[in-house]
A and B are shown apart, each in its own frame.
Chain A
Amino acid sequence: MSFITRGFSGRNRERDPNLPPGQTLVEDWPVLSAGPTPDIDPADWEFVVVTENGRRSWNWDDFHALGVEDVTVDIHCVTHWSKLGMAWRGVPLDKVFDEVETGHDYVMAHSYGGYTTNVPLDELLDGQAWIAFEADGEPLSPEHGGPARLLVPHLYFWKSAKWIHGLVTMPRDDPGFWEQNGYHLHGDPWQEERYW
């Protein structure tokens, strides 16, 4: 049985009512990766949506033409850090799903490099998610997921897949990479849905 280490309290984890439970505000922007940073030229980039009805893809310029907007959101990482009031710029997924029909209720996000994460389709709509190209007024750097990442700020940030390549709709809520490895299928920070 582990014993308490005299004088050790870990990071300051006081409960801040502005933050979901167990989160701490940070000023920097930590980088967490499960693999090497892919090197993707926007000239080669595509965004793909696959449904039971077929496949649709856009290149960089065509995708931007769907309509880009600025949003300010809070982000919460399951490793306990949060950033409030971050400025992001991207294409809302509402615009994408205006162009696509599906009867499926779930989506698997696929990244360049092979990362996957699952999200219910209705949680990507109604102004809840974007494909983002800029953060804090700057083009998204590769280490933070550039040239484009999924942004789903109401869920833990591992769901905001970096280096997004496309979405595949699915009839069941199949688990993505971290969801297969101990992390919660849904991931709501306000319910503290961190692990299985």
Chain B
Amino acid sequence: MKVDGNAIAGPLAEVFGRDVTLAVATCAGCHESGVIARTMVYATAMGAVARCAHCELVLMVLGGRPGARMLFSMPGVSSLELMPDEPTPDEESVGTAQRAGGGLSGSHSS
């Protein structure tokens, strides 16, 4: 099943302790970068493989025994950039998160 990085937000939140769909990953192959939400994800019952939307390199893999031990690797991510986590403010923050991506979004074609 071909989806995108939004689909693995849950398992990645287990790894990182927070939602990382807006984290910016740099591809170790083509050096383009973009938010995790825009990676191309091939998800099956075996696990999930997140690929660079620009060059198709395998960025991240989620495998392991379901419900028992998760196995996470980032063989194709040379760096990951996240904004610091914040306490939940009392009022709604003003300003939409604007980390929409560049190269990792590729041309949108499959």
Contact of A182 among B45, B58, B64 (CB under 8 A): B64
With a cutoff of 8 Å between Cβ atoms, the chain A residues found around residue B56 in the complex are 35-36
Contact in complex: B63, A182 (CB < 8 Å) = yes
With a cutoff of 8 Å between Cβ atoms, the chain A residues found around residue B38 in the complex are none
Q: Contact flags (1/0) for A2-34 with B, using CB distance below 8 Å?
A: 000000000000000000000000000000111
Contact in complex: A34, B42 (CB < 8 Å) = yes
CA distance A178 to B47 in the complex (A): 9
Q: Could you say which interface size class chain A belongs to?
A: 10 to 19
With a cutoff of 8 Å between Cβ atoms, the chain A residues found around residue B73 in the complex are 180-181
Contact in complex: A35, B42 (CB < 8 Å) = yes
CA distance A78 to B45 in the complex (A): 9
The number of chain B residues with a CB under 8 A from chain A is: 20
Knowing A114-B58, A181-B73, the reply to whether A195 touches B65 (Cβ < 8 A) is yes
Compute the total of residue contacts between A and B using a CB distance below 8 Å: 52
Contact of A181 among B2, B42, B47, B51 (CB under 8 A): B47
With a cutoff of 8 Å between Cβ atoms, the chain B residues found around residue A195 in the complex are 64-65, 68-69
Minimal beta-carbon separation of A2 from chain B (angstroms): 8
Contact of A183 among B2, B63, B68, B110 (CB under 8 A): B63
Contact in complex: A35, B46 (CB < 8 Å) = no
Q: Contact flags (1/0) for A163-196 with B, using CB distance below 8 Å?
A: 0000000000000001011110000000000111
Contact in complex: B44, A32 (CB < 8 Å) = yes
Which residue in chain A gives the minimum CB-CB distance to B40?
Answer: A36
Q: Contact flags (1/0) for B67-90 with A, using CB distance below 8 Å?
A: 011010100000000000000000
Which residue in chain B gives the minimum CB-CB distance to A156?
Answer: B46
Contact in complex: A35, B49 (CB < 8 Å) = yes
Contact of A78 among B46, B58, B69, B110 (CB under 8 A): B46
Using CB atoms and an 8 Å cutoff, list the residues of chain B in contact with chain A.
2, 42, 44-47, 49, 51, 56, 58, 61-65, 68-69, 71, 73, 110
Show 14 residue pairs from A and B whose CB-CB distance is below 8 angstroms, ordered by the A residue.
Answer: A32-B45, A32-B46, A34-B42, A35-B51, A36-B51, A78-B46, A79-B46, A180-B73, A181-B64, A182-B65, A182-B71, A183-B63, A194-B65, A195-B65
Using CB atoms and an 8 Å cutoff, list the residues of chain A in contact with chain B.
32-36, 78-80, 114, 158, 178, 180-183, 194-196
